[in-house]
Structure formats: C-alpha cells, structure tokens
Amino acid sequence: MHASGWSATRIVLQAASLVLMTHTFGVRAYGVLAGITSLYVTIAQFVGLGSGIALLRHLARNGETHARMSATRRAYLVSGLGAFVVAWPVSMLLLDHMMSATGMVCLAAAELIVAPSLMPYVFYYQAKERMMLSGAMQTLAPFARIGAVISALVLQVKDLSTYAVLHLSWLVAVVCIALQLARVRAREASPPYPMSHIVREGFPYMVSGATITASSELDKTILLKAQGSAVTGLYTAAYRIMQAATLPVNALILAATPRLFRASASDQGKLMRQLLAAVIAYSVIAASALALFSPLLHFVLGSNFRPSEPILRAFCFNVLTNSVRQLVTGRMTTVDMQRDRNFTELAGLGVSITLLFALTPHYGPLGAIFALAMSDISVIVIGTIRLAAAHKSSAPTP
C-alpha cells in the first residue's frame, strides 16, 4: 500500500469516525469536542519546532544521519511537554465550562505529546521515499481515534471526559507499539547532534506549519465561542468531510516533496506543472462529488445534521482553494523560500482571523467558510507573486 492507499484509508477512517461520533454524542457534544480539539491541534503545530521538515530536507539531500533522527525525537518530546504545560491552563481559562479538567488533560496530552511522537518517523520514511511506512505512521492517530469511538459506543459512553480518557488510552497503546516496531537503529557510531542545532534549522518551517493549521482549525474554536456548540457541531461535520476530500492532494504533495528538494530548476518546473494539472483536475471532481453527495448527508449522520447539508455545499469552493494553496506553499519550501512562505502564511492567517472574528458572530458557518476561502486566495496570490519574482531574478540575463 503506497501513499494513495494510505490516504484512502485515512479518508475512510475519518469518515467512519465522524459518523460514529455524531451518532454517539449528538450535535452539541460533538461541537464542544471539535472546538476544544481544534485548539489543541493548532498548538500542536509548535511541537517539534520545525525539526521534522528540517530532518526531511537533510535526509533527502545529504543522506542518513542517525544522530539527527535522535535529536529530532528529543525535540518533539521536549517541545510537546512544554506545549502541554502552557496549553492546558490556557484552554481551562478559555473553555473551562465546556469539559472537565480531566477530559481536557487527556485531550491535551493526546494531541500535544503522544500523537506528535510519530512525526519524526513520518518525515524519516518520507525522506527515504518509503511512502508506505510514512503513510502508515500518519494513519495510526485516526486509527486510535476510531478505536476510542467504537469503545465509547460499545460501553455506551455519552460523557466527553470519559471519551477523552479512552482516546488517550488508545493512542498511547497504538503509538507505543508503533515506535517499538519502527525504531531506527544506528548503522554506525556517530557523535550526538545537538537538539538546539536542528531546532534552529527547523524553526522557519514551524512558523508556516503553525499558521496553516491555525488558519484551518481555529475557526471551530472561534465559532464555538461566538455561536455555541450546536452550530459548531453542524459546521465541523461539513468541514471534516471537505477536509477529507483534500487528503489525496496532501498525500500527493508529500510524496513529491523529496524529489522537488533534489530536482534541478528545470525539472522542478516540469514536475510542478504536472502537479498543478493533477491538483486542479482532482479538486474539481472532488468538489462536484461533495455537491452531489450533500443532500444525502442526513442519512449518514442522522436527521439532526440536516442543516449541515447547505454548509457542505458552501465548502465545495474551498476544496479547490485549499488544494492549490497546499501546492503553492509546498513549492516555496522546496525552492528554499521558507522565509517568504512564512510571510505569506502569516498574511493568510491575518486575513483568516480578522474575518473570522468579524463575520462568525453575524453570519455563523457561512462567514467562517468565506474567511477560510479568502485566506486561501490571499496565500495563493501572494505566494505566486513571490515565486514569479524569485524565478525572474534567478533567470540568466541575455
């Protein structure tokens, strides 16, 4: 099973998890869970401090160094613990009345410490172009999530705090087994690589990763505060389906990243044209499929989610904008324009946050959808302009 196969598996797991969660917890509880989890997922992008993509870049260009892999694992562990210490009290202050302290501790630990521990291996196998193993590592967290949901369904758990304990337990068990099986052993002795060095190299990559996730996840948290749990639940159900539709694009770009890092300028241009054609063609097909599927959504999620159907149709345009955004920003990284990418992603985040706070109190889900689309478009436009300027400046003068 290669990248596309694992991408399809994640789509199936995400869809099954969505269906089971909505039937198990209902609209309001699902909305609360979505808002809290989105906050932790956003903060989780700071875990690792960009060391994962720095590891990928190094391995793709310079070959294997076991010491760098060890330093990357330490960076994820230390930064994850630090993020947990900061994030849990902050979430208690912002959303304390929505879930118990125990539930928030479990969700925070799962998203900030346990799940990120898989990421060094995701990047390691991606750099080696062993996409089957990289995809398998990315699929373990969704697998643990659906295991927790099934356990909650079997045990007739309706309380979110108890579900959070199940979620953490499943994730710890799955991750421990995976890390034991995937442990990378040194082929030869090498001096330890300072964690501070790999963090310094990776920090610019962290900025873009954090801003991307903040742009796409904080909408649920802001909507939860502005419109309440019921509206957030309806919106998140439609959002997760749209997000699942873009997973194949993400898998395609991840699979191409090592080659783009190694390719010459002319080879990169040819590969990017092929990727752009594939991404646009797929996005149009996927968006059309979502529009056709939307009237059937209440049969799958339950009658309480009938209001999610027009929200899903409104998300169809975002499938295209989100997919093209991924491609443009991915290109900026592989041509060593990470600083420009960070500026571009920060501009997109500014657009997203400003519009979310301005529009969601009055327009609810439609305001959030418009904010996300405008964020994508701003990143695409700014990123394309900067790529074009860089290409023009690097072109030989006649």
CA distance 227 to 292: 28
Q: How many residues does the chain have?
A: 398
CA of 106: how far to CAs of 98, 233, 317, in Å? 14, 21, 35
Q: What is the pLDDT of residue 126?
A: 81
What distance in Å separates the CA atoms of residue 374 and residue 298, rounded to the nearest whole number?
A: 28
Instruction: Choose among 344, 122, 107: nearest CA to 251.
Output: 122
pLDDT digit string, tens, across residues 189-228: 556 677 777 777 777 777 777 787 787 788 998 999 899 8
pLDDT of residue 172: 96
DSSP per-residue string spanning 61-116? HH---HHHHHHHHHHHHHHHHHHHHHHHHHHHHHHTTTS-HHHHHHHHHIIIIIGG
Alpha carbon separation from 37 to 28, 92, 126, 131 (Å, rounded) = 14, 13, 27, 28
Contact between residue 239 and residue 319 where contact means Cβ atoms under 8 Å apart: no
CA angle 70, 250, 145 (to 5 degrees): 70
The pLDDT tens digits of the residues spanning 131-165 come to 788 888 888 998 999 999 999 999 988 889 999 99
Lowest mean pLDDT among 18-27, 48-57, 284-293: 48-57
286 Cα distance to chain centroid: 19
pLDDT band, residue 66 (cuts 50/70/90): confident
The pLDDT value recorded for residue 247 is 83
Q: Is the pLDDT of residue 374 over 80?
A: yes
Tell me if 15 sits within 8 A of 162, measured CB to CB: no
- Judge whether residue 366 has pLDDT over 60: yes
Mean local confidence (pLDDT), 87-100 = 84
Q: How far apart are CA 173 and CA 190, in angstroms?
A: 31
Query: Please, what is the average pLDDT of the chain?
Result: 85
Q: Which two tokens stand for residue 297?
A: 């959504």
Q: How far is CA 328 from the centre of its chain?
A: 16
Cα separation, 320 vs 331, in Å, equals 17
The whole-number pLDDT of residue 262 equals 67
Q: Give 115-126 pLDDT, tens digit per residue.
A: 999 999 988 888
What SS3 class is residue 336?
A: coil
pLDDT of residue 252: 83
